[in-house]
């Protein structure tokens, strides 16, 4: 009897719900504004969409400065690509960004030498900071048949997040990173309100899936947060002895 009553109550509730749904109109769950902007995709991923800010398209380094002295970026520009100049140090964008989508391509030289971390080491600092570890580094390294600590291999958020896959191409091939960056937020008095998050595709393969960062990415010690606002994107000139790597087709879409 008790079971029958429960069944009857359930059926009645279901019946009411169905009646309510029948009275609803499809228009009630459809809306027409704000209308998403029209964005024309590039012919391929290398070609920027119509609303992107071009950071490097092969012509010049006008969007970049040296982090040493804020003067001109002195990396080598030839054949529409830029190559790391190890004596000139890191370069970073003139403009600062908060949340964005980034596309960038890099090439490890085909004659690369070295092993472990000393083989094509560079990096993309997703928000460059003038203190501590220098920001939050997405590692660039040749890990095609080259092993190192897994939280420091290509596709890692350096010493924080192991990539979901090793998607490295061969030295000599152009490779891509596509990144969605959500910057951390801080209160006026510097209290962390929300941590940074990042999604990364490496050569089209998902390697970081909406990962939450614990802070910046130091070589030694634990990550930590310190209040900052919009920040440049920085490319690392690493001190390893291997042949310098190259970049091309860099564009960003602030979100």
Residues of this chain that bind Mg ion (CB under 5 A)? 121, 123
CA distances from 218 to 144, 149, 159 (A): 24, 15, 8
Q: Which residue lies nearer to Mg ion by CB, 121 or 249?
A: 121
Cβ 140 to Mg ion shortest distance, Å: 6
| CA dist., res. 185 & res. 20, Å (int) | 42
Cβ 129 to Mg ion shortest distance, Å: 15
Question: In terms of Cα–Cα distance, which of 87, 62, 64, 88 is closest to 74?
Answer: 88
Cβ 159 to Mg ion shortest distance, Å: 10
Cβ 121 to Mg ion shortest distance, Å: 5
| CA dist., res. 208 & res. 200, Å (int) | 5
Q: Which residue lies nearer to Mg ion by CB, 90 or 252?
A: 90
- CA torsion 232-235-239-242 (nearest 10°) is 180
DSSP label of 124: E
| CA dist., res. 170 & res. 175, Å (int) | 9
Chain residue at closest Cβ approach to Mg ion: 123
Q: Which residue lies nearer to Mg ion by CB, 123 or 135?
A: 123
Instruction: Report whether 135 contacts 117 (CB < 8 A).
Output: no
- H-helix or E-strand spanning residue 11: helix 2-23
| CA dist., res. 118 & res. 213, Å (int) | 25
Cβ 249 to Mg ion shortest distance, Å: 20
Q: Which residue lies nearer to Mg ion by CB, 73 or 133?
A: 133
- H-helix or E-strand spanning residue 73: none
Q: Which residue lies nearer to Mg ion by CB, 123 or 134?
A: 123
Cβ 119 to Mg ion shortest distance, Å: 11
Q: Which residue lies nearer to Mg ion by CB, 55 or 235?
A: 235
Q: Which residue lies nearer to Mg ion by CB, 66 or 217?
A: 217
Q: CB-based contacts of 153: which residues, under 8 Å, 6+ apart?
A: 139, 141, 143, 147, 162, 163, 166
Instruction: Report whether 137 contacts 234 (CB < 8 A).
Output: no
Cβ 117 to Mg ion shortest distance, Å: 8
């Amino acid at each position: 009897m008790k079971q029958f009553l429960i069944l009857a109550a359930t059926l009645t509730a279901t019946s009411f719900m169905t009646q309510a749904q029948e009275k609803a109109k499809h228009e009630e769950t459809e809306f027409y504004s704000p209308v998403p902007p029209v964005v024309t995709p590039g012919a391929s991923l290398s070609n920027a969409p119509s609303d992107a800010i071009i950071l490097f398209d092969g012509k010049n380094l006008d969007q970049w400065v040296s982090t040493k002295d804020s003067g001109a970026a002195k990396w080598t520009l030839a054949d529409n690509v830029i190559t790391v100049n190890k004596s000139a140090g890191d370069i970073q964008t003139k403009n600062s960004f908060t949340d964005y989508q980034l596309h960038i391509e890099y090439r490890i030289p085909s004659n690369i030498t070295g092993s472990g971390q000393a083989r094509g080491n560079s990096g993309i600092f997703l928000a460059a900071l003038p203190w501590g570890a220098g920001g939050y580094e997405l590692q660039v390294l040749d890990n095609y048949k080259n092993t190192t600590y897994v939280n420091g291999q290509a596709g890692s958020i350096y010493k924080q997040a192991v990539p979901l896959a090793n998607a490295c191409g061969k030295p000599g091939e152009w490779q891509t990173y596509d990144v969605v960056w959500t910057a951390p937020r801080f209160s006026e008095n510097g209290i962390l309100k929300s941590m940074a998050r990042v999604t990364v595709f490496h050569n089209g393969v998902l390697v970081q899936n909406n990962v939450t960062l614990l802070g910046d990415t130091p070589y030694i010690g634990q990550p930590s947060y310190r209040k900052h606002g919009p920040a440049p994107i920085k490319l690392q000139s690493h001190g390893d002895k291997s042949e310098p790597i190259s970049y091309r087709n860099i564009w960003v879409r602030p979100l």
